[in-house]
Every structure is written in structure tokens, then in C-alpha cells.
Amino acid sequence: MEAKTDLPPVPRSATLAEKPIDIPWKTNLRRLFRQRSAVIGMIILGFVVTVAILAPVLTVYDPTDSLIGQPGHENIQRRAKPCIHLLGCPEDQPQHLMGLDGNSRDVFSRILYGARVSLRVGLIVVGISVTIGTFLGSVAGYVGGWTDNIIMRLMDLILAFPSLLLAIAITFVLGSGLFNAMLAISIVSIPGYARVVRSTVLAARNLDYVEAAHSLGASHWRILFRQILPNAITPLIVQATLGIGVAIIDAAALSFLGLGAQEPTPEWGTMLGRERNQIFSAPHLVLFPGFAIAITVLAFNLLGDGLRDVLDPRLSRSEQSK
Amino acid sequence: MEPMIQFAVRRIFSAIPVLFAVIFVTFVLARIIPGDPCKSILGEKATQQVCEKFTRDFGLDKPIPVQFGIYMGRILQGDLGNSIRFGRPITLMLAERLPLTTELGLSAMILAIIVGIPAGIISALRRNSAVDVTTMVGANVGVSMPIFFLGLLLIYFFAVILKDTPFSLPPSGRLSPGVSSRPFFEVFDWGITRDSPNYTFYRYIASHYMFNSLITRDFVTLWDAIKHMILPATALSTIPLSIIARMTRSSMLEVLDKEYVRTAYAKGLQDRTVIMRHAFRSALLPVVTITGLQLGGVLGGAVLTETIFGLSGVGLSLFEAITSRDFPVIQGFTLIITVIYVFFNLVVDLSYAYLDPRIRLD
């Protein structure tokens, strides 16, 4: 104790100044990078995105063209097994890392380009449903009364159907195709986002700072967008990340059933659906697209879970208490 | 019990408008399909004459609200129309095919619960142990695995790789060739024929092969039916299983920290008693909620599972009806599946009102 008194007294203000200012998103990002599952998710996702971007560099074959009759492919067989020179496939045969499909197309190319399709599907579906869901949820929460009632009962109605089934029915009515499938999946996922936004808006609507903005003469739209909706960003980010995974899986399911992407689009679900009866004779046609879907969805799920653990204040409080 | 009954009545009444709305949606489905409703319902080959009769019978020449009334009236009388492809009443098709889906869905849910809950509890008790990490990694992979891919993987493993071993399992169908499930009303000689008034109902009950072979003590058929159910039920159960396991774990973790659990340990109670009586009981509510929420996924997943395993339940029938544009079947089956879903949601709501008295007071 006495030794310490010899030291020059530390000015209070200096200790305060040295303490780094707590910037929420920076702290959150740091915490996110400390989450094992989130990091694994980000690594896988980085890999999938890279593959999608570099697809034309990584493969020489066109994902939609049959290789029959092309130079070097005179003796190819439909649904040929993977041929990798390093693993003992004869050098005189053309190399196909994942074999050929029923139309003699290079499966590897289709898997790579399929990453583009699936990522786009995930982002577009979530984009549409977050936009519409946010709009409906914020109007319902902010306006209240009958508007709220009508919007939310409509949301309940969508939720009254098993979601994949409703998506199937909507795609049936709109007609098969990847775009319609995406639209259908967007529609069935709107209520989730609308509910999240509505509950945030309801919670924030009567807070003092909102009242203050109101009495300063801010317009309703300004209050909604500048004062209230930023509160909804955190839960929306978590839900949207997990939603991308769900959208990819559901779109693949619709395509698997023949309602989504049509030939020759290199879509993983379509690839699986078209060749599913080959599981006995040419399993590579099922295994590669299947794992591609599973890995991509896993990445979004891991990242989404990580984000939730970091961003959900309820959870982080219970972490702190331990 | 008074508030419980009040809650139940209120909740049951609130399901009625939902049912009406669902019927309305399936009605609208038929109206927004582009083209002539007669052609889209009876098929392109329908003649002028047939179409006129159809238009009159279904009241398509009347105003829309009247049409809805007619549609509603038919449904309330239990008439869902006839399949275009098979020319058979949809109610009879349902009687034959719904039981498969019921057995499949129930098996999957039971599997998910009896594996998921213990896995979640053990994970929570041994937090961060190898068991916990394995379970949670498994759960993450489980929710990311598309049912249609997992189903094909299971077929590949159990019917291709393990073929000719004692562990091989049949990749498709409900029963092996040569094995059949004799309806209980024939076994017991109840004298029920196709013309009997309640034939559809008896047929429905007897089409639950597992149940039927159990009550007729036909254990060969029972075992065969179970063997055929293992792979599809496993494929269908992974997602709910993973979600239930995760929810049980996090719910248990939260509860295990509570003071009353510490008190229970401090009193010297056995671990088992503390875990089951004190901790698990209060951790159960979110688990019930999440289990209920899985039903929609299971019903939707049944379409995929039945398609892969060649099981002609409502899921596969619906899929086939879609590919062949058998419109009344699409309408009728969508309606029935949704009604089942609404019903089970009701049951789940009531069960947590029962488990958590606070809910009843809201």
C-alpha cells in the first residue's frame, strides 16, 4: 500500500480517456469473430461466394452445354463417374472432377454455377420478404387500430398454412419457374419479418425520444424511418441471415419437385431432382448437389446463430451473468 | 380449471375464422388459375356439353359470393369433389392415403422427441463436453440438411451400401411385395363391404397399417410396415429433432442456473430428481412451443419424403396431382392438410395453457 503512494497520482480524466470508446458495431464484430460457429460459417460462406464469383475461371466447361461430340469427348458416356487424373483416372480421358450428368454435362461446372443461382435466390427472396415485411410490420405497428388488425390477420392467414405447402400451391397457381418459386417463398416468409418489425415498432412508438421528435414537428415517415425502424435492424439481421438458408433450401425443394428452376439452369435442387433415381447407379449425381446445398445452408445457419448470440441482448446478458 | 376451460373455448372459437379463411383461400386458388375454370378443373379434353353441366352444377354462372356459398356447403357436407385423373371421390382417396401420412408424421415426431429431448438435456448437463459439442454440431448439420437429400443419402446407405446385410432397409413402398395388411373389419368378420354406409370411415381406420396389423395381431405385417417406415421417418425427423435438441439444451441451461435448482441440490435430492422434477419441468414450455411449431415443417416435408420414398400418402398424391394438374385433388388435399395443421396448432396452444397457468390469464 505504502509503495503505491510513492507513485504519482493518476489523474482521473486520463484513465477515462485511455478507455476505448465503446462503439457498438465494432464490439459486436469483435464478439462475432470470437464465436467459433460464426467464424466457421463465415469461412464456408466466403468459400461459396468465391466459388460462385470465380466459376468461369475454375472450370472450362459450360454448365448448360452437353459435351457429346465436343473435341476430346468422343468416347464419353452419359452419367460417367468422376474422372480425376491425380486419383488414377487414365490420362487419355478428359478430366471431370464430379463426373457427367444425364445430359453429358460437366457436373463440376454445374455445381460451381449453381452456387451463383442459390446465393442469388437466397438474397432476392430475403430482399423481397424483408422489404415487404418491414413495410407491413411498421405500418401495422405505427398506425395501429384497424390497419394493424387487417395486416396482422392477413399474416396469420399465411402462417395458417404449412409454409412449404403454401409455397407449392402459390407456385402452382403462378406457374413453374425459378422466379415464381422465389416469389412464392418470399410471400410465405413475409409474416416472420412483419411480426418482428411490428413488435419493435410497438415497443418504440411511445418512448420519450419518439414523443420528442413528434413534438418537434417531425413527420410520421421521418419518425418511423429515422427514429423507430433502426431499432428493428438487429433482429432483422439475425432473422434475414437464417432466412437466406431457409430460402435456399425451400427453393431447392421446389426445384427438386420440378416447380422451381427449369432445365438447363444449373440449380442444385433441379440437378438432384432430375437424377434422383440414379442414386443406385450413379450416386455422384445426387451426392454433389446435395452436399452443395447442405454446406451453403449450414454456413448461413452458423452465421445466423452466431449473430443472434452476439446481437440478442437477452442472450448476452445471461452470458455475462455466468 | 375454470380459466383453463374459458381459455380453451376462446381459443377454439378463434380457430373458426381461420378455418373459414383457409377454405376461402383454397376457393380463390381455383378462381385465379388463368383460363376457363371448367377446363382447368375437368381437364383440357372436357367437351362443351360437359362444361355446361359442370358450370351449372358448381354454380359457376352465379355471382362469386353465391359460388363461395356452394363451395362451402359442399365442404361442410364432406364432399370434396372427384379426382379428374382417377374419377374417384377425394374423400375416399383421403381415407386411403391420409393414414400413411399420419403414421409417417407421428413416427417422425415421436423419433424427434424421444431422441431430441434427452440429447438436449445431456448436452446441457455436460456443457462444452465432447457429447455437447457433437450433439450441437449434429443439430446444426441436421437443420441444414435438405430432407430430399437426406432421404436419398439414407437410401444410398441402407439400400445400396448395406444391401444383402442384416441392416439393409427397404428404400420405398409401405409393405414388401407379398405382404399385405388385411383390414381389421375383414379379419373380424364385421360384414362391411364397399356399399356399407360407413365404408370410407372403416377404410380410413384400416389404412393405418401399423395400427391395423397391431389390432389384428398380424406381427409379420407390423414388422414389415415398421421396417419400411424407418428411413422415411428418420429423414423427416432430422429437422425437428435438431431444433428440439437445441431448444431443450438452451432452455435447460437457463433453468439449471436458477436458485431453486441449486436449492434442490443443496437439499440433498438425487441428481435425477432435481433434473427431471425441478429443472426439466420448467424448461419444458419452450420445448413444447418449438415442437408444435415443427408440425408445419413436418406436413410440408411429408410431400418431399413421400416423393423420395415412393409412399402414396397425401404428400405424394398432392405432388402427383400438381404434375398432372388434377385440380380438385390439389384443392382438397391442401385444404385437409391445412385443417390438420390448424387443429394441431390449437392442441399445442391448449397444451401450453395447461402447462403454464400464466397464459390462461392473458
How much is the ipTM here? 0.85
Residue B221, classified by CB atoms within 10 Å of its CB into exposed (0-12), middle (13-18) or buried (19+), is: buried
| Interatomic CA distance for residues B32 and A246, integer angstroms | 28
Residues of B in contact with A291 (CB under 8 A): 149
Residues of B in contact with A259 (CB under 8 A): 322
Report pLDDT digits (tens) over A61-97: 888 878 777 777 777 777 878 888 878 788 777 778 8
Query: Which residue out of B22, B109, B150, B152 would a mutagenesis test of the A interface target, given it has the greatest number of A Cβ atoms within 10 Å?
Result: B152
The total number of residues written for chain B in this structure: 362
Would you call A173 an interface residue with chain B, using a CB distance cutoff of 8 Å? Answer: yes
Cα A257 to Cα A169, A254, A266, B33, B303, distances in angstroms: 12, 5, 15, 20, 9
Residues 277-316 of B with CB under 8 A from A: 295-297, 299-301, 303-304, 307-308
pLDDT reading at A320 higher than 50: no
Report pLDDT digits (tens) over B269-286: 888 888 888 888 888 888
Q: Report the chain B residue with the minimal C-alpha distance to residue A37.
A: B137
Three-class SS of A146-191: HHHHHHHHHHHHHHCCCHHHHHHHHHHHHCCCHHHHHHHHHHHHHH
pLDDT reported for residue B167 = 85
Task: Say which CATH architecture domain B90-181+218-361 belongs to.
Answer: Orthogonal Bundle (1.10)
Give me the residue from A37, A272, A305 closest to B149, CB to CB. Answer: A272
Closest CA to B152 of A226, A256, A45: A256
Counted across chains A and B, CB pairs separated by less than 8 A come out at: 124
pLDDT reading at A278 higher than 60: yes
Would you call B144 an interface residue with chain A, using a CB distance cutoff of 8 Å? Answer: yes
Report pLDDT digits (tens) over A241-265: 999 999 999 999 999 998 988 888 8
Nearest-neighbour CA in chain A from B136: distance (Å): 10
pLDDT reported for residue B27 = 79
Would you call B322 an interface residue with chain A, using a CB distance cutoff of 8 Å? Answer: yes
Say if the Cβ atoms of A252 and B146 lie within 8 Å: yes
Nearest-neighbour CA in chain B from A90: distance (Å): 26
Say if the Cβ atoms of B330 and A172 lie within 8 Å: yes
Residues of A in contact with B33 (CB under 8 A): 173
pLDDT reading at A317 higher than 50: no
Neighbours of A38 (CB within 10 A): 22
Say if the Cβ atoms of B146 and A259 lie within 8 Å: no
Cα B240 to Cα A257, A280, B17, B209, B246, distances in angstroms: 22, 28, 28, 24, 10
Residues of A in contact with B243 (CB under 8 A): none
Say if the Cβ atoms of B254 and A301 lie within 8 Å: no
pLDDT reported for residue B190 = 85
Q: Enumerate the domain spans of chain B.
A: 90-181+218-361, 182-217
Nearest-neighbour CA in chain A from B350: distance (Å): 17
Average pLDDT, chain B: 85
Average pLDDT, chain A: 84
**Region B312-322: what's the mean pLDDT?**
86
Give me the residue from A160, A252, A298 closest to B18, CB to CB. Answer: A160
